[in-house]
A = this chain, B = another copy of it.
Amino acid sequence: ALLEANGNLSCRCAKTTATFIHPSKYESVEVRPVGSSCRRLEVVIKLKSLERVCVDPNAPWVKKLLQDLPKLRKKAAPP
């Protein structure tokens, strides 16, 4: 791929994976919106192992994950 000279200086993900990661392994999901310093959407999953994995925002399971984020509270334990 061509080097991108400008506009991506603060991207965090040099590569992404499309491999599915089960939600039970998530510590958190970080979404980095498109901005002037990184011109692509980045999705970083932090695992309970504290490893960070950059995932492909175009992978179907990642798209679904993003859509499901507002509903994650449904899994809450009863008070």
Contact = CB atoms under 8 A, between A and B. Distances in A.
Question: Which range holds the interface residue count of chain A?
Answer: 20 to 34
Q: How many copies does the complex hold?
A: 2
Contact of A39 (B32, B34, B63, B76): B76
A34 B77 contact: yes
Nearest to A26: B33
Contacts of A76: 34, 39-41
A3 interface: no
Interface of A: 7, 23, 26-36, 39-41, 57, 63, 66-67, 69-70, 72-73, 75-77
| For the complex of A and B, 6 pairs with smallest distance between CB atoms | A66-B70, A41-B73, A33-B72, A28-B32, A30-B30, A34-B76
